[in-house]
Structure 1
């Protein structure tokens, strides 16, 4: 049942939209709005046949919140155990999901303080395909990032040094994978949130080509054109197996064009080696990197040369110019998503409960966090000042940056660079707003999100913007902390990246390289 807005409420809404209603107009608009709302209300009450949600068995036991003794690294939101068929590509492997990836029967917060115990009644495409492949689902992982205040007691802790940051929003999964608590953890990557925590926590992480993995049933409050879903694991073999299972067109995600294949097979070519491949060290990506981090990554390139690859230097000046375009795109895009409240749903089925939860989340976070209010104000003022031109330009210049990397990838098969400019920074409790928005210190340490914005995102957000596939793999240590090497390739050539990663993994004492020596 709709409620006709009172005249003063109508005036408030009008002012929020940038115009005033003259006194003599209010009654007329009130009547017309009431007529319009009545039509919409009639539609909501029509008995129409709707397609059912994708089938899912919600009888999956009782997921529970682990206590501190069971989860000393704060990696988990819920634990459970179901699935585990004897046959299938992922049989015998355990899998977990970022708490923004919908799994029927597992209560979800969608990574937001504004959502309390949403109980999904359908599986995301990623979860469905993982279960069909015989994996055992063991839980959902903690989400950290955005503007949610995170205390030292609640944040996922870096398994190599609990005083250090674990990375971006998918850090719970990266921590669980790096610590050996799960074989494969799926995360979301809108600016580096799979690759940064994997690099800082000492795991392997893959951001696939844009659209290769369906985003149906995965929640994001960012612009949909930077949304990616990818696996985190301790071996390239597990990454390849996970990708082979979840990749492919599903008809439910508008991010996927019909150029996306129905399936991929990267596992069968892992052992083909790097002989004959040309790998380019991206000059611009090493600028401002910690000298020890840069040296470790360059040493990893020497390992690949010894394995048969040709190593050359390559320059893409545009690499350093992507950030403003990405920022413009995601500011306007995330603002539009927040207002619509239907991020990351689908093309053929829009789950009403999830849509409503997203709307509540956006409103409650704006009420709770000054930082969210600032983001909302910036987004709204940007929309009014630029009238859509900012977003349009950010989209229209995108092919320029795509072409810059594509030109480099004509002469080389893979671009190689540090995933992050530093190792994991020391965690510091956030100061209160607005001091928490000040840039981090020059040493790359400071508040989590701001620190990530400097040494973390500098080499990762480019490939969310362009859509190129990117793999991070641990390649050494600096002062005892993991260093990640990022490999970037041509569209839909994940198999080449995984071949290079596999060659490196099997050319070094990889188990020693990723061993967790400090935890809890």
Structure 2
């Protein structure tokens, strides 16, 4: 496997069925997605030896479709990071340049695909964690509409924001994987993820093998008559080399028959702030379960329960501790209305801005990441810089919209991603537009 890049935490195989739309396809699974009998660490010492008794719905659907799981991929601890450097199992390196980060938090998944160690990978995207590493590694990453893919078996970071999504070398391969994992999840009459729904789609794509939508059929590159909105707010402050590369890709869409128009999303100026208040607040609640009582790491302490609990939680890394503290503070008495409630108001503002924009355009285009891949270690001492790098990806999570990152080209030999965001459950349009970028 990709030991050169430290893309995998665990290398074990789950064989898929002999028949199915993904027969012969190898899949790498982010290590916060449960796999029965194979440890699921979330990149943390807290779960270094945890072995789930069940598999996530997405894993079962992939193996039922014929895919073979080849390992669990490295990630920022509990999904908290933009570089895959906060993992307790060491940083992942970018196959495009091993001295640079692969992005995060699904950096191991993107690196595995970019290095040719898996055909497809699964990541989870809370604020850009599928799209960021896809952009940095020069591959394709899809963040589905919230609810399109079951989160059953995903170790939660921020429930209201995160979605599981596929990473692949091409738009069509990523879309084919999405067709397999998408769809509501009650199974056998039991509701395993009550937030999961039938996306419906725009009706243009054919039905898939299981009666769902065949998203791969939308990857036909036909953008004639498509209207692409270009928001100035998501270009301002970005690296000039990134902007130039993305503008060239948008110009190619115009050459293929798409129409571009300037649009405005004034609320995105506050998206990063709102995102980190909401995400850390949910994280502080979700991670409270790691107390050493039921599963995971337990400190060997002869002290009282409070001391034992505190020593157990020392297994968290510094970034996870930082976000737990931030979230606990935002939810504390006297500060809930000042921070969390205002962040939710900002989230609604973001949602309304997108809704208004989609009254006039079909998709919204921007750089996926406003910067080129960081050098290893460059952002660890400056967390704020890492947080601000999420400026273009977090709005889609706040508004629960589908988004894709597709390679737009290179700048100084490093990959640059173009992000396309669409209306809720209109994955087909963003896939169609992305395939045109890919085919240019």
TM-score normalised by structure 2 residue count: 0.86
Q: Secondary structure at the match of 1:486?
A: strand
Kindly report the root-mean-square deviation, in angstroms, between the aligned alpha carbons of the 2 structures: 2.8
Change (3 A) 1:102 1:359: farther
Match of 1:216 in 2: 152
| Alignment of 1:189 onto 2:125 | yes
Match of 2:170 in 1: 235
CA-CA distance at 1:303 after TM superposition: 1.0
| Whole-Å separation in 1 of the counterparts to 2:298 and 2:345 | 29
Q: Once structures 1 and 2 are overlaid, which stretch shifts more, 252-261 or 197-206?
A: 252-261
CA-CA distance at 1:501 after TM superposition: 1.1
TM-score normalised by structure 1 residue count: 0.73
Q: Considering only CA atoms, is the larger Rg found in Structure 1 or Structure 2?
A: 1
CA-CA distance at 1:340 after TM superposition: 4.3
CA contact (8 A) 1:187 1:230 kept: yes
Q: Which runs of 5+ in 2 are unaligned?
A: 201-210, 300-308
1:221-251 deviation per Cα after TM superposition (whole angstroms, max 9, x unaligned): x321011110111001111100000001103
Q: Where in structure 2 are the equivalents of 1:15-414 lying within 5 Å?
A: 71-145=3-77, 146=80, 150=86, 154-220=90-156, 222-251=157-186, 252-254=191-193, 256=195, 258=197, 260-261=199-200, 263-271=212-220, 273-340=222-289, 356-357=295-296, 364-366=312-314, 369-386=317-334, 388-389=336-337, 390-414=339-363
Aligned pair count reads 412
Q: Secondary structure at the match of 2:142?
A: strand
| 4+ runs deviating over 6 angstroms | 358-363
Change (3 A) 1:412 1:316: same
Which has a greater percent of helix?
A: 1
| Whole-Å separation in 2 of the counterparts to 1:310 and 1:83 | 45
Q: Once structures 1 and 2 are overlaid, which stretch shifts more, 253-262 or 305-314?
A: 253-262
CA contact (8 A) 1:199 1:472 kept: yes
Q: Which runs of 5+ in 1 are unaligned?
A: 1-65, 343-351, 440-448, 508-520
CA contact (8 A) 2:49 2:296 kept: no
Change (3 A) 1:255 1:111: farther
CA-CA distance at 1:430 after TM superposition: 7.7
Change (3 A) 1:364 1:462: farther
Q: Secondary structure at the match of 1:224?
A: coil
Q: Secondary structure at the match of 1:467?
A: coil
Match of 2:431 in 1: 498
1:90-136 deviation per Cα after TM superposition (whole angstroms, max 9, x unaligned): 11211110011111121221321111322222110110100111111
